[in-house]
Amino acid sequence: MARVRRDAGAQESGGHAGHGAASAHDHGLGTVGRVSADRFFSPMTFVRSWNFDNLDPAARDRVYKETPRPDGTLLREYQFFALDREIEIAPGIFYPAWTYNGQVPGPTIRATEGDRIRVRFVNMGSHPHTIHFHGWHPPEMDGSLPDQQVMPGQSFVYEFDADPAGLHLYHCHAVPLKRHIHKGLYGVFIVDRRDDPPGERDELVMVMNAFDTNFDNENEVYAVNTVANAYMVDPIRVAVGRPVRIYLVNITEFDLINSFHLHGMFFEANRTGMMRSPEVADTIMLCQGERAILDTTFRYRGDYMFHAHQSEFAELGWMGLFRAEEPRRDT
Ligand SMILES: [Cu+2]
């Protein structure tokens, strides 16, 4: 837990950071303002994108390609690169990250079970890196052993089948591991069941992460999808009555657990996306590297808060809102 705090309250309330009588109860929730536009990453875009579908077609063609195979599955080819890059994690707070493709989290990879994944990885960063995927694969594709480190300027091709169906992740496995992961080298790997197409669901990718801004092995800023309080400022808009699926991943380093709590409703939580009978809850706790698929439907219009139920994390940025609205009618 954070010893050194960047107290969110100190940045808000029109500049009076003190606790005088007039402002004693004048605390807003979290940060004020927005981070600058970033050409690599926006929390609003990231939450609903995978396989680079946030890019325009020409840009997407350069990093992603689908090729049908005779058995009806797809070969999915990705271009990944590691890049050292400063990112803005709260308004005015910059972090010297190591990124996949310039963004933290890295691009979400999504396939259907049985597809073939091929990721060409180029290390354009200043340290050795790898991509270690969770899921079934041969040891030589694991990206974890000393001789599997990809040196700066070098490249490697990871190739394996999308197996099993579920919610997985990928991350760098160079040492020191906690630093390589924490610096930003991680992302989400979704494998859909062949008999469970997304259909009418609204699907959201939510990665619980945090940042140690003073390198004391404790986090000072917490978030879902990197930017503290991003969804307090710009709520995630959802439709009343439409099923919502959340792909929730915990990649928080240094703290043993993180959690997701949703106000005013419950969800079915399917750990790793592989349980036969999901649990029903309004709070789910995940260890480092754990993930869960959450299914729910908003019943009423309005704003629903969500946050870590570790209050400290919530107050340091890990808090947001869903805004449920009546679905638009075309007629
Ligand atoms: Cu690394």
State the pLDDT at residue 27. Answer: 56
State the pLDDT at residue 276. Answer: 85
Of residues 19 and 74, more confidence is placed in 74
Measured in angstroms, how far is the CA atom of residue 165 from the centroid of ligand 1? 26
Q: Return the structure tokens found at 123.
A: 């290390």
Q: Return the structure tokens found at 66.
A: 């689908």
Summarize pLDDT for 161-205 with one digit per residue, the tens.
Answer: 999 999 999 999 999 888 899 999 999 999 999 998 878 999 999
Summarize pLDDT for 143-160 with one digit per residue, the tens.
Answer: 999 999 999 999 999 999
Measured in angstroms, how far is the CA atom of residue 100 from the centroid of ligand 1? 10
Tokens 């390198």 appear where? 215
**What does the pLDDT average to over 298-325?**
95
Summarize pLDDT for 53-83 with one digit per residue, the tens.
Answer: 999 999 999 999 999 999 999 999 999 999 9
Measured in angstroms, how far is the CA atom of residue 128 from the centroid of ligand 1? 6
Closest CA to 319 of 242, 210, 243: 210
Strands 243-250 and 291-297, bridge-based pairing? antiparallel
Strands 93-100 and 109-112, bridge-based pairing? unpaired
Residue 4 predicted with pLDDT over 80: no
State the pLDDT at residue 12. Answer: 40
Measured in angstroms, how far is the CA atom of residue 150 from the centroid of ligand 1? 9
Q: What is the mean pLDDT of the chain?
A: 91
Measured in angstroms, how far is the CA atom of residue 73 from the centroid of ligand 1? 31
Measured in angstroms, how far is the CA atom of residue 172 from the centroid of ligand 1? 5
Band (323; pLDDT cuts 50, 70, 90): very high
Give Cα separations from 125 to 97, 98, 183, 256, 330 (angstroms): 10, 7, 12, 28, 48
How far apart CA 129 and CA 131 sit, in angstroms, is 7
Closest CA to 123 of 153, 144, 102: 153
Measured in angstroms, how far is the CA atom of residue 277 from the centroid of ligand 1? 36
Measured in angstroms, how far is the CA atom of residue 174 from the centroid of ligand 1? 5
Q: How many CB atoms lie within 10 A of CB 317?
A: 30
Measured in angstroms, how far is the CA atom of residue 184 from the centroid of ligand 1? 9
How far apart CA 242 and CA 296 sit, in angstroms, is 9
State the pLDDT at residue 28. Answer: 62
Closest CA to 186 of 151, 225, 221: 225
